[in-house]
A = this chain, B = another copy of it.
């Protein structure tokens, strides 16, 4: 491409609920200031560089998680907010231990080293590892049909791929995630000795993707170790099983579950000038998996949320409502931070009207998904023309964010930032979720988009 000779002219839409030209002018000026500030004088990228490259992966209960609490508290303190504090919360502590090791062994003894990563919350294998025949299944129904006679003593290999036909990759992820979350518990019912789960990624490569799993009510004595296998190795194993059903799988991991430890949600607020007792939350989760540095999941969201309040202070915007940034601890393997925050606002009877979470990666923002009533959805969608110059077009019903959903029932509007979803699961929960995958402008556009919505909710309220 050589030149763009003239810029894009977007469709002129009309405001349906904001009545005066003057109001429109004020709002569009504010949005322009927010985008300008984020893009020309932003801080999110620098914060994220530190969080990712100096601190690194921040699994709950780790030293890195505590460093992240300290760092973000310090940085919030520099912003001149009205209040910054730590909200104590007990979190699970699980450690991966040594790097996992696994191979496929053919009936003639040839070994093919495979790429696995223990699932978060998994028990370890015995010290010498586990070796057993493999039964491949697509889903829990197939597992039940095979039953104990075919499963007992074997390793169950859950290999249902994410479906590429879905346009929003989160949809494909949601369809396939039960294997990872509950696969081991289901397989244990039939006497399996281990569970290997195809990585939740649409990309065929050598990178395994971890994530949370739960044993549910499986008794301790029956809990079996679980790991994710890279998509490439999953395809290899599946192909091999068709030729050599007697193939064996070996894996070894020495993860450990410890007692819960004390950690914190990090909170900062600008007190409302008109409604100090009505609260708005913008947030993300501070913890991450340990195998990457958690740049997209969810360092991006953390720094974007901080950036919203920084920009308001910088632009000398005095919100009518109290606006809080909440950096939740332990989304990945427990959600204790989100649960604690919701519990505390209920206990203190704090009136929350709005919460926005960014936890879908730091990619180009496309809009928002909302959990609210029709009246609010209509109210908010009337602001769509204000976002058009920024190519923000999505004001959809849909999932908001894991950390803020515990407030449901005690809040008017829950919202999730919706960035472009195509690249997210290629790196999500893998060693490739690193700072080099972040595009500075995309991160900044997300922060400005969040700030724009927060500003409009603050200005026009909710239904």
Residues of A within 8 A of B (CB): 1-11, 35-36, 39-40, 164-171, 173-174, 177, 181, 202-203, 211-212, 297-298, 331-332, 335, 359-361, 364, 366, 369, 381, 389-391, 393-399, 402, 418, 420, 422-424, 426, 428, 439-442, 445
Contacts and interface: CB of A to CB of B under 8 A. Distances in A.
Contacts of A424: 1
A393 B396 CA distance: 13
Contacts of A173: 3-4
Nearest to A361: B1
A173 B7 CA distance: 10
Contact of A391 (B366, B397, B402, B423): B366
A11 B395 contact: yes
Taking chain A's interface residues, is the majority helix, strand, or loop, or is none over half, making it mixed? loop
A134 to B, nearest CB: 27
A211 B2 contact: yes
Contacts of A164: 39-40, 441
A396 B426 CA distance: 31
B1 A359 contact: yes
B174 A389 contact: no
A335 B1 CA distance: 11
Contacts of A165: 35-36, 39-40
B171 A4 contact: yes
A246 B115 CA distance: 57
Contacts of A36: 165
B422 A445 contact: yes
A49 to B, nearest CB: 13
B9 A167 contact: no
Nearest to A178: B3
A391 B394 CA distance: 8
| Interface-central residue, A1, A7, A10, A423, by most chain B CB under 10 Å | A1
A402 B3 contact: yes
A173 B366 CA distance: 22
Contact of A442 (B174, B177, B418, B422): B422
A174 B2 contact: no
A170 B364 contact: no
Nearest to A398: B8
A181 B171 CA distance: 45
A174 B164 CA distance: 36
B167 A4 contact: no
Contacts of A174: 3-7
A4 B151 CA distance: 30
Closest 8 CB pairs of A and B: A4-B170, A393-B393, A8-B398, A9-B397, A4-B174, A7-B171, A1-B359, A8-B396
A4 B35 CA distance: 28
A420 B181 CA distance: 34
